[in-house]
Amino acid sequence: MEKYLEITKVQLKHHAWQHLLVSILLLAASPLVLGISNLDAAQSAKVLETYVALTGIILFVPVFLPEQDRDLWDVIKAKYTNIMSVYLARILISLLFSALLTLAFLLVMKAGNCEIEPGKYYFGTMAEIIAFGGIGIFAYAVTDNLIVGYMIPLGYYVAGIMAGYQYMKKFYPFGMLTDYDTKYWILAAGLVLMGCGIMLFRRRRCLQLH
């Protein structure tokens, strides 16, 4: 248990805080970009789906970034650490950060007299965050390239805007007020892709270092 706490501490100290800071700055800029006061239900949903959910890409995609450091990988191996547990700890950190940021943003919107359904909007936004994160993690694992890991979920985001529900159906990312079932579909897809990405990246690293 102690070694996992140590790895989590290192992740927080050297890596996770940077992505958290970028996410905070992104959300802090929202009043300048979109405005988050006196919004109706549709406007509130749009802000959450097209802006806040982008933190999923920022927080989740770099989960494998520390493995670019060969020395860190050697330390993990030397301590006989289950690398899957290391990845899980990092994902849980990202999930915690995204959950807290989304909650804080909803509270700010509520204080700004925005019309929202807290439970519905919170779950819907988190589902989209996890979907974006899962797509990015899988893309990163397949290509072993962080930039591609960022670009693929951004491509999915753009496709959602350009194509719309008519073409994307249950995997439409912005269905908060049109078809809420899409949130369950993209959540499931995000979790599956996240799991597959972790297993694929672990296999890739093990093959490279043996």
Write out pLDDT tens, residues 48-102.
999 999 999 999 999 887 766 555 555 555 555 667 777 888 899 899 999 999 9
The 10s digit of each residue's pLDDT in 144-179 is 899 999 999 999 999 999 999 999 999 999 999 999
Give the predicted TM-score (pTM) of the model.
0.89
Long-range contacts of the stretch 32-36 (C-beta < 8 A, 24+)? 36/105, 36/108, 36/109, 36/112, 36/114
CA distances to 6, 16, 151, 202, 209 from 131, in Å:
29, 19, 14, 21, 30
Transcribe 53-121 into DSSP letters: GGHHHHHHGGGGGGGG-HHHHHHHHHTT--HHHHHHHHHHHHHHHHHHHHHHHHHHHHHTT----HHHH
The 10s digit of each residue's pLDDT in 115-152 is 999 999 999 999 999 999 999 999 999 998 999 999 99
Q: What is the pLDDT of residue 80?
A: 57
Q: What is the pLDDT of residue 5?
A: 65
